[in-house]
């Protein structure tokens, strides 16, 4: 059985619970996906499957990739990712479909995506430096300050926080709760925010370290108290 699915972030909205509470959710168009390739311990050293996200827009691929898809007898896709296989589950072969129905309401999932890119930024925005005084004549407002001693070690220590490119990183958000599954429209509604902008590709997998679900219990009133 496949552990996850590929999808595209649609945006954020909110849903109402049976008790009237409002929950912010992210809408993900998860799947449909096809299994392009299977990997096993004997030939590859680990068990996984390569999934392709089926989209309305046709994909243009190179001749080697076209042969790769032809071998699996599936249409070419623009996005391919590897996901793990749950041990002891149903066997998966090339050409099989993976749908959003692998998840249920209330499941815990991890969402992997690429964070928004912010370009080249200074230390105040990138690393949350406090900066210098903002008063007149300070001449030290958003500078990084000292980056090392000149006598020893006479170099900038590796890992020094400095200005540079910000964002565009692979980010994993763990233990998000699945609020609703819509198999008809291949939609998955998860509580909270996920990395990246609308239209970005994400991987949704079953939580590696799922938190236990807490069920609120009514408190008992002490005797003699009203």
Q: Quickly state the pLDDT bin for 155 (edges 50, 70, 90).
A: very high
The pLDDT tens digits of the residues spanning 175-213 come to 999 988 988 899 999 999 999 899 999 999 988 887 766
The pLDDT tens digits of the residues spanning 29-75 come to 987 888 888 888 888 888 888 888 888 888 888 888 888 888 888 88
CA distances from 32 to 4, 105, 159 (A): 12, 18, 42
Residue ranges and CATH numbers for the domains of the chain are: 1-116+171-226 (2.40.30.10), 118-167 (no CATH)
Hey, what's the torsion of the CAs at 191, 193, 199, 200, to 10 degrees? -110
Least confident span in 90-94, 97-101, 166-170, 209-213:
209-213
The radius of gyration computed from the CA coordinates of the chain, to the nearest angstrom, equals: 24
Q: Quickly state the pLDDT bin for 172 (edges 50, 70, 90).
A: very high
Over residues 94-108, the mean pLDDT reads 86
Hey, what's the torsion of the CAs at 212, 208, 48, 93, to 10 degrees? 20
The number of helix segments (H) and strand segments (E) in the chain equals: 3, 12
Residue 51 bridge partners (DSSP): 35, 81
């Amino acid at each position: 059985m496949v552990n996850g699915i590929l999808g595209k972030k649609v945006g954020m909205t909110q849903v109402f619970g049976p008790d009237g509470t409002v929950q912010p959710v992210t809408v993900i168009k998860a799947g449909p996906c096809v299994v392009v390739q299977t990997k096993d311990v004997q030939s590859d050293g680990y068990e996984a499957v390569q999934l392709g996200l089926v989209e309305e827009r046709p994909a243009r691929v190179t001749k080697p990739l076209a042969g790769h898809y032809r071998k699996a007898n599936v249409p070419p896709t623009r996005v391919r990712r590897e996901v793990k296989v749950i041990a002891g589950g149903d066997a998966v072969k090339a050409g099989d479909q993976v749908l959003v129905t692998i998840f249920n309401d209330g499941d815990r999932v991890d969402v992997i995506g690429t964070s928004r890119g912010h370009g080249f930024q200074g230390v105040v925005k990138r690393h949350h430096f406090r900066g210098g005084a903002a008063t007149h004549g300070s001449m030290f407002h958003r500078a990084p300050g000292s980056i090392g001693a000149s006598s020893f070690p006479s170099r900038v220590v590796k890992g020094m926080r400095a200005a540079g490119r910000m964002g565009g990183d692979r980010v994993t958000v763990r233990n998000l709760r699945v609020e609703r599954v819509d198999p008809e429209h291949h939609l998955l509604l998860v509580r909270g925010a996920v990395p990246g902008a609308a239209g970005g590709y994400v991987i949704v997998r079953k939580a590696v370290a799922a938190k236990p679900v807490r069920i609120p219990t009514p408190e008992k009133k002490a005797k003699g108290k009203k």
